[in-house]
Amino acid sequence: MTAQPQYETAVARYFEAWNATDPEARAKAVAAAWTEDGGYTDPLADVSGHDQLAAVIAGAQEQFPGFVFRHTGTVDGHHHTARFTWELVSTADGSAPVAGFDVITLAEDGRIRSVLGFLDRVPAAPTA
């Protein structure tokens, strides 16, 4: 299948939220991307609601300062579900130590109802 405009729009809003560094801008971006009870689940988080979503995003930004999320590949969707790949990219040197793919379910208004995230590449844990 090929991406339809509603999937492309939802994914663009999703990345706007993940890359918004100002708390007020982040809150607005989260509200534009997710329904009020929208959720996000990956191996490290399982949250719902705008406040928890914004907190998870802020936490990722604190853990990886100077990095941005970048969509890679194409969006593939059908019915109210879409999948896409992404990388977490350093603005300093272009390295991308984290990558994965997400599956989103959309509500009737085009906002995200749920995200299931999968991590394909993560940094190695420091050894003692």
Q: Which tens digit of pLDDT belongs to each residue from 40-72?
A: 999 999 999 999 999 999 999 999 999 999 999
Helix 5-19 with 50-63: angle, nearest 10 deg? 60
What is residue 114's predicted lDDT score, i.e. its pLDDT?
Answer: 98
Nearest to 113 by CA among 82, 91, 87, 84: 82
Question: Are 14 and 103 in contact, with CB atoms under 8 Å apart?
Answer: no
How far does the chain reach from its first CA to its final CA, in angstroms? 47
Residue type, 36: E
Mean pLDDT of 6-16: 96
Q: Is 73 left (phi over 0), alpha (psi -120 to 50) or beta?
A: left
Strands 112-121 and 34-42: parallel
If pLDDT is split at 50, 70 and 90, which confidence band does 90 have? very high
What is residue 49's predicted lDDT score, i.e. its pLDDT?
Answer: 98
Q: Does residue 1 have a pLDDT over 60?
A: no
